[in-house]
Amino acid sequence: MAYSCRVRIPLFSLVTAVLRRIVVAELVRGMYIHELCGSWMEHPFWKTKFLLDSAKDLQRIRDSGIHEVWIDTSKGLDLPSGQTVEQVAVETEAVLRAAEPLATVKPTGLEEEIGRAAKLCDSSKAAVMAMFSDARMGRAIDVAHVAELVEGISSSVMRNPHALISLARLKHADEYTYMHSVAVCALMIALARQLDLPEPLVREAGMAGLLHDIGKMSIPLALLNKPSKLSDSEFATVRGHPQAGTQILLDSKQVSALVLDVCLHHHEKVDGSGYPHRLAGEQISLFARMGAVCDVYDAITSNRPYKAGWSPAESIRKMAEWSKSHFDEKIFQAFVKAVGIYPTGSLVRLESGRLGVVLEQHGQSLLTPRVKVFFSAKSKTPIAQEVVDLAKLVGRDKIVGRESPADWGFRHLDELWTGLPAR
């Protein structure tokens, strides 16, 4: 397979930005916002890079639940006490590496499971679309059918967690709402098993993941798929989906309190800045804390009508950066164990100068996955494709960085690791 590539010029040769991370309480007018630290679903801003010159926008940031921001001091006011890029990078890597070591596991090979997972993705999407359509029309949810779906997803995740989880990420923007539910179901199951929960609770976690966003059926489709900035009133409407979903599930009278709680509280954060009830720490149930992590990961790795998703490895890095204010520390570390520091489908650079896509996680270390190399970053040309097991190359080659497929112009990267045509 041929890959086109734009010549990649190191960022530091083009940009003189001086970035600092500060807490929102220290934000003042005159600062230049470089990035809001959180999922773009948590704030109403269309752009995340702008000069903060409005008292209204300052208040909107404070009200959104965003805890920290990056400011560009070359374009606005400085705050010398803010953290530098280097300081944050050290902290973030420490959070990720705290998930080591892994317990030895021997799942079914990715290649063996990927075909079954692809068929399961398609059938699950159709089933969820039908279920959500029934909810939109006011019909009762067929909980027995939901349980069947969860069972099928659970079996695939048991065989190989990375196949279905990674395939479900490759959704089109217009099918996000449905496939997001399938993806969060799979992620919740994988996380529950990583936390060593009993199998009945693993199934409950899966059902909670599948139904957590059912309240979005109360929101007009035009608003859910709007390709531009939401107004404040529209943003408030979207943020009402946890309560709406809880009412739908209560009316069904067939789901457990655990499932109801995830539906209602999957947008809560451990620092108390989430919604709808601004719960903090242990006030948030175990399942809701799990749901928060799984929901954010799939949301920020998915393409939306208004924004392209981040790569899996960049998403995990971002979540680690936000983790102290957003997520339960132990649950986030278990999540990293479940999906990897460099999840399947991630583009990485090796010390040898080769670029590769991550295929599978190693059974005992998050730092040495199997990688399919295919491109030379030094010569900027394709090379013979080869699967390398970094666990067998310790001391000779290793991952030295995450890369963005968009920066390199790789348009068909997912075909490399799935072996399937573009979805």
The string of pLDDT tens digits covering residues 362-373 is 878 999 999 999
pLDDT of residue 40: 64
Q: Is residue 2 part of a domain?
A: no
The string of pLDDT tens digits covering residues 149-171 is 999 999 999 999 899 999 998 88
Distance of CA 64 to the CA centre of its chain: 19
pLDDT of residue 103: 58
The two three-digit tokens of residue 72, written as one number:
């560009």
DSSP string, 36-85: ESS-GGGS--S-S-EE---HHHHHHHHHHT--EEEEETTTS---TTSEEH
Is the pLDDT at 404 greater than 60? The verdict is yes
Do 211 and 275 belong to one domain?
yes
Residues of the domain holding 400 = 347-418
Residue 269, classed as helix, strand or coil, is coil
Q: Is residue 279 part of a domain?
A: yes
Q: Is residue 94 part of a domain?
A: no
The string of pLDDT tens digits covering residues 93-148 is 888 888 876 655 566 788 889 999 999 999 999 999 999 998 888 888 888 889 99
- Residues 99 and 366 sit within 8 Å (Cβ to Cβ): yes
The string of pLDDT tens digits covering residues 312-351 is 999 999 999 998 889 999 999 999 999 999 999 999 999 9
Do 276 and 195 belong to one domain?
yes
If one compares 102 and 311, the residue with the highest pLDDT of the two is 311
The two three-digit tokens of residue 226, written as one number:
């709007």
Q: Is residue 58 part of a domain?
A: yes
Lowest mean pLDDT among 23-37, 65-79, 94-108, 246-260: 94-108
The string of pLDDT tens digits covering residues 218-255 is 999 888 888 777 888 988 999 999 999 999 999 888 89
Do 316 and 259 belong to one domain?
yes
Do 312 and 353 belong to one domain?
no
Q: Is residue 5 part of a domain?
A: no
Is the pLDDT at 3 greater than 80? The verdict is no
The CA distance from 27 to 229, in Å, is 23
pLDDT of residue 174: 73
Do 301 and 272 belong to one domain?
yes
Buried b (16+ CB within 10 A) or exposed e, 33-65: bbebbbbbbbbbbeebeeebeeeebbebbeebb
Residue 340, classed as helix, strand or coil, is coil
